[in-house]
Amino acid sequence: MATITLKGNPIDTIGELPAVGSKVPGFNLTDTDLHDRTLSNFSGKNLIFNIFPSLDTPVCAASVRKFNSEAASFNNAAVLCISADLPFAHKRFCESEGLDNVYPLSTFRSPQFGKDFGVEITTGPLAGLLSRAVVIVDPEGVVKYVEQVPEIAQDPDFDAALAALK
C-alpha cells in the first residue's frame, strides 16, 4: 500500500507500482471505440502509462495534453492515458482538445488494472479511482521507471519520465 495525499489529506492505494526491472503486468482496457486493448496490442513499443483519477480535473487533463505533445518526438513509443473515465468521456476530451498522439483507455470493464498496478485508491473521497502515476516500459515489457505522484493535485515529473525513454 502507498499513502499519498489529496489536498494534504492522506489516502491509500491498494498496493505499490510494479518494480523497476520487473515485467509489466498484463491488462485489458477499453478504448474510445469500445474495443479491448491488451499489452499485446502495443508489443515491441516503449510504453508510457499515464495513469490518473479523471479527465474532469485540471491536473489530469494537463498531463494528457503534455504527454500528447511530447509523444510525437519519441520513436516507437505509445502513450497510454488510463483512468476510470468512460470511453465516451475520453473520446470527447481527446477530440475537443485535438489530441491524437495518445491512446485513451478506460478501466470501466477492468477494475483489475488498478489492483495489478497498485494504483486503485482505497480510502477517502476518491476511493475506487486510480492514483496519479507514471510507468515507463521498454519494448521487451520491462519496467524502466515508476512514479507514484505523492499529491493527487501535483503534476508528475514529466522530465524524469521522458528521460527514461532515452
| Known catalytic residue at 81 | no
Residue among 151, 146, 149 at smallest CA distance from 18: 146
Residue 13 is given by DSSP the state B
Which of the residues 4, 47, 60, 161 is marked catalytic?
Answer: 60
Residue 111 CB partners (closer than 8 Å, separation 6+): 84, 120
114: three-class secondary structure by DSSP: helix
For the chain, where are the alpha helices, taking DSSP H only? 58-71, 87-97, 112-116, 158-163
Q: Where on the phi/psi map is residue 44: left (φ > 0), alpha (ψ -120 to 50), or beta?
A: left
Alpha carbon distance 120, 118 (integer Å): 6
Residues carrying an active site annotation: 60
